[in-house]
Amino acid sequence: KIRPVLATHCFACHGLNKQESELRVDHISFLTKKGFYGIPVTPGNPEQSTILSAMKHIGDLQMPEGKPKLPESVIADFQQWITDGAFWPTEPVAKGDRSFDLKERIERLPWIWQKPEPQPLSDSSDSNWPENEIDHFILAKLKENHLKPSDFTDRATWYRRLHIALLGIVPTPRQIEEFESDSRPDSREIAIDTLLASPRFGERWARHWMDLMRYSETRGHESDFLIANAWHYRNYLIDAFNSGVPYDQFVMEHIAGDLLKQPRLNPITGANQSVVATGWAFLGEEVHAPVNLRQDECDRTDNKIDVLSKSFLGLTVACARCHDHKFDAITQQDYYALSGFILSSNFRQVRFETAEHNRNVAKAYELAKASYKHELASSLSAALEPSVNRMRDEITAAVDILKSKKPQESDAEAHPWVVEIQSARNDTTHILHPLAIAIEQATQDDIRKQLSALAKAYEQQNALADAALDGVEIIADYRHGETDSFMQDGYTFGKRPERAGELVIGSPEKPVAGIIEHGAAIKDSFWDVLQLHPANEKDSGNLQAFSRAGRMLRTPKTSLDSRRIFYLVSGAAEVYAGADSYLMVAGPIHQNVRAKFDTKRAWIEQNLTKTDAHRAHVEFGALPGKRLSVEVVVQAEKKPVLVAKPSSFLIDACQIDETNISAAIVNYIATKTQRSVKLLSDNALPQSDHPADYAAILNWVINSPELFRISDQARDELESHANKFHQQTSKLILQLKVQSRTAISLMDGNGVNEFVLNRGNPQQPTYEAPRMIPTAFPHATPVETDGSGRMHLARQIVDERNPLTARVIVNRVWHHMFGQGIVRSVDNFGYLGQRPSHPELLDHLAWQFMHDEQWDIKRLIRKIALSSTFRLSSQPNSKHAEMIDPENTLLHRASVRRMEAEVIRDSVLAVSGQLNLEMHGPPIPVQLTEFVVGRGAPSKSGPLDGNGRRSIYIAVRRNFLPTLMTTFDFPIPFTTRGNRNVTNVPAQSLALMNDPLIYQQAHKWAESIVGSNALDTTDAKVQEMYKRLYGKKA
C-alpha cells in the first residue's frame, strides 16, 4: 500500500533521478535521514514524521505539491505503517543518472511532445503546379533551397508506380493501355479508387505492417517451434486494410481488441476480428527450456515493448530497460510502467470464429437456467412442504418406538424414520446424529454429558477447519460467488462462481440433482459439445493451450514466495501454471508447470520450486465429459489440511438444554428443515446466514424420498420443468457454433505493476512502476482499474492529444509511397532519429488525418497519390538540383526505388501468368533446398512456386526463410523493421540468373509466348515481353 503511492505521487520529484529539496523517497535509507524539513519517517513515531504532516497538509509544507490532499484512507495507511515500524523489504538502493531532467529532455526535442496542429499554406499563387495541400509545402521547401520540381512523368510510368505502391505487383500492359486511353478529367482519381478497392491492396499493405510486428509463424531459437495458428493474424491484417478500418480503431484492436465491448465482426462469418489483432504480442522469439525463467520473461517483455513503442509511437523505449534513456525524455520507470501492461495479460488460443455467436447463446442459456432453477425451487419447496410439516410428529413417533422397546423389523417397515435415526447413530455429519445419541441415554443428565462431549468434538473439528487456511496466501477464492478473481476463456464456468445454497438442475428422472454445499467455479456440461476444427494447429511442446480454448478458468497472477501452489478441487482438469509467462514448454526442465488431476474433493499440489519463478497464474482446462469444481487456490509452505466443517446446526443441537432434550432436538431439526425449504422457496438460500448448512439439510431431504414423500402431481410438475429445461437446452445446443479454429491472443488478467529493476537485473527489483504511458506525454495518467489497463493504454495512444501516434503512421504511409519518410528514421522520432525534412507538412497531414480523414489510411494514400509530388519524374531538372539535394530529401524529383523481395517474386509469377490470386488460408510451406537445413527444419517441403500464391502466404519460419526473399533484403523477424535495408550486391543478380524459381517461371513464360498465335513474329514476341516486364515499348 505504501510504495505504490510514493511511486505514483512522489517519485517524479523525489525519486531516482530527481530530488527536489535534496529529498529522495524511493528507499527507506533516504526516508529516515534528516533533511531540510526534518526527518520524513521516524519509525514508530508518526508525530515526528514530517512526511505525514505534509500529507495531512498541516502547515506550509503540503504534499503532493499543488495537488489535492491524498484520500484519508491513504494517509491512515501511512500513519499505521510508521506506527508499526515503517517496514521496508531488504533491497539494494537503485542507482540512476542524477543528470536526467525530464523537462530538459522534452525541451531538447520539443516538437515530438507537442500535438500536431494544422499549418498555414505557403503562398503559391505564382504557380499552378500544386495539385493539393501537400504540394504547397513541398514547393515552398524547394523554393527555399532555390530548386524547382522535375517535370511530370508520363501516364504509364505514373500508373505503374501507383500500381506497385498500392498492390505490390506490376500492372498488365492492358491495364496500362486502358489508363493511358482514359481521357476523363478524373481518370487518376478513378484509377486510385479502383486500386484501393482491390483485394490485392490489403495483401500489399498488410506485409508492411507485418514488418513492424516481426511477423513469424515459428518461435526461432534452436528448434524453431511452430507458433500455432499465427497465420490468422496475417489474414486479420489483410482484411483490416481492405475494409478500411480506421487507424485509431486498428490500434485499439491491437492493444485491447479482446476488451472491446463491441468487437468488429466479420460481416459474413461473424468471427471476432478485433481479438485476433492482439496476437501480435506473441509473434516474437521464444526460448524453450530457459534455465532462468525470470530473465527469459524480461527478455520477451523487452521485445514486446520495443515493438509496441516503435510501431505505434516511434520511440525507442526499450533503450530505458537498464537506465534512463540516454537521449530521449523516457525514464527507466516509463519502461517498467509499460512492462506492467504486458505482465497483466496472458497468452491463449481464442475461439475467434465462434466466440461472439456463442456469447449470445451463453446469455440465453444462463437466463433459461436461472429461470428454471427458480421454477424448480418453487415447485420443489411446495412439494416438500406437507411432508416437512409432518416430520416433527413422525420423528417423535419414531423416537417413542426406539425408546419404548427394541425396534422390530415391522417397526422399520412401518416407520422409515426409525431406520434413519438408527443409521444416523454412526454418521457424525447426519443432522439426526445428536438425536440418535440422546435417545440412547437413560437420563437427561446423561444426555447433557454425551451431547456436551459431542459439541466439544464438533467445535474442535470446526476450529481445525477454520484454521486450515491460516497463514496461506489465497490466490483465488471461488467459494462465495464473487467475481473479483473470476476470469475465464469462454463460458464453461458460467457468468460467476456458484454459491453454496444454489440449486443444481438434474435430469428428467431426478429433476433436482441437489443443492450446492461448497461454493466453487463449476464447469457446466452444456459446453462439452465444443470442438476444434480438424485442421487447427496444436501448440508446440507441452503448453497445450489449444485444448483449453473456450473452457479455461484463470486465477489472478501473484508473486511466488513459497512456489508451492495448492488448489481445492474435485473432478478432472489439465492445469498450466504460467510461471513468469513461460510458454515454450519443451525440454527436460520446467515440466512441472503442467499438471493433471482426476479426484474426489481434495487439495492438489503443484510444486513450482524447481522453476525458481517469480510470478505465476494458474489455468484450469476443463475436460469434456468430466466434471470440475474449483473452490480455492492458495500458495503455502505446506498442503492445507482438508477438514470437513461440521454443520453449525449440529453444534446448536448438542447445546440444547431443556427439560426434554430429545423432544427439543426434534423440534429444532424440524424447524431448521422447514426454514431451509422456505429459503429455497424464496430463492434466498445463498444469501442466508448458513447456506452450506441449509444446503446439507436440503440434500438430505431430496435424497430421502422414503422420508419426505411428494405427491404424484408434484412429481409430474417437477419432471415437466426439467423436461422443458432440457428441451430448451437441446435447442440452444443446436444454435451453438460447435466447431472453431483458434488464434493466438491476449487474455486480460489482474493488474500487475512491474518493479524497476536496478540496471535491468531481474534479481535486483527496487520499487513498483505504476502502469501508464511514458510520463513525457502531456495526457499521461496511471491506470485505475483492477484489470491489465490495456484499454486505458490504447485510449491514451489514440487520444488526439497524443503528439506521436498520427505523426508516426502518416510518416510510415509517406515512406511506403515515396521510398523515404518525412522522418527518414521511421521507427525512431527521438533524438538519435533524423529530423523531419518537412515538419510543417508532417504536422498538417497528421492533424488532417485525425480530424478530416477520420484516421482513414486509404483517404491519406489517395491524397498523396493525387499530389503533383507523386507525379514527378525521376529525372532531375539539372545537375545543380542533384548537388543541392543529392539524397532527394526535398523531393525535387521521384526517387528510383528497387522493388522489395515480395514485389519481385509476385511480379515474376504475374508476368509468367502463374500468379494464383486465392486469398487467406494457412501458409504454404517453404521449399526445402540444400540451403534450408538445420535443427527444427520443416518436415514437409513446399512447392517451388508456392502454388503460385502471393509471397504474403508463404510460410515465415524464423530459421528457414526463403533464400530468394532474403537475398533481396526480406527482414529477419526479430524486432520492428519499418525501413527495410536496400542493398545492391552481386548475389542479387546471380539469384535472378540462377534461382530455380526464376528458371521455372521463365520457362513457363517462354512457353506461353512461343505458343501464342497472336504473336507471329520474333519482333512481336520481344515487344510483348518487354511491355509485360516494364510497362512500356522496347
pLDDT digits (tens, 9 = 90+) for 790-811: 999 999 999 999 999 999 999 9
Element counts in the chain: helices (H) and strands (E) = 36, 18
Q: What is the DSSP string of 858-893?
A: HHHHHHHHTSTGGGB-SS-S-HHHHHHSTT-TT-SS
27 touches 88 (CB < 8 A): yes
Please give the distance of CA 802 from its chain centroid, rounded to a whole number.
23
* pLDDT at residue 257, as a whole number: 97
Burial 226-261 (b: 16+ CB within 10 A, else e): bbbbbbbbbbbbbbbbbebbbbbbbbbbbbbbbbbe
Q: Is 966 exposed, middle or buried (0-12, 13-18, 19+ CB in 10 A)?
A: middle
Which DSSP state fits 33?
A: S
**What number of residues does the chain have?**
1034
Q: Exposed (0-12), middle (13-18) or buried (19+): which is 896, by Cβ within 10 Å?
A: exposed
Q: Considering the entire predicted model, what is its pTM?
A: 0.88
Closest to 164 measured CA to CA, from 114, 201, 121: 201
Q: Rounded distance, CA 937 to CA 926, Å?
A: 10
Amino acid present at 978 = G
**Among candidate residues 299, 108, 144, the one with its CA nearest the CA of residue 219:** 299
The alpha carbon of 231 is separated from its chain's Cα centroid by a whole number of angstroms, namely: 18
- 599 phi, psi to nearest 5 deg: -150, 160
Check residue 410 and give its pLDDT: 60
d(CA 866, CA 131): 7
What's the pLDDT score for residue 762? Answer: 93
User: Are the CB atoms for 478 and 520 separated by under 8 Å?
Assistant: yes
Mean pLDDT by 10 residues, the chain (1034 residues): 82 77 82 80 88 84 82 88 86 68 90 94 80 94 94 96 97 94 95 97 98 96 93 98 97 97 95 97 93 94 97 97 93 96 96 96 96 95 95 92 73 80 93 93 91 94 91 94 93 96 93 96 96 94 91 96 93 95 90 94 94 93 96 94 92 92 95 96 93 96 94 93 95 96 96 93 91 94 91 97 97 97 97 95 97 97 97 92 94 95 96 95 92 84 95 96 93 94 93 93 92 84 88 80
Confidence (pLDDT) at 414: 60
Cell of 120: 498555414
* Omega of the bond leading into 64 within 30 degrees of 0 (cis): yes
Q: String of b and e for 585-621 (b: at least 16 CB within 10 Å)?
A: bbeeebebbbbebeeeeebbebebeebebbbbbbbbb
- The pLDDT value recorded for residue 1020 is 87
Dist. CA 939–CA 928, nearest whole Å: 9
Please say whether the beta carbons of 786 and 274 come within 8 A.
no
For residues 48 and 37, is the Cβ–Cβ distance under 8 A?
no
DSSP label of 984: -
pLDDT at 412: 64
Q: What is the reported pLDDT for 48?
A: 86
Asked if 976 and 212 count as a contact pair (C-beta separation under 8 A), the reply is yes
C-alpha 578/C-alpha 554 separation (Å) is: 10
Q: Is 359 left (phi over 0), alpha (psi -120 to 50) or beta?
A: alpha
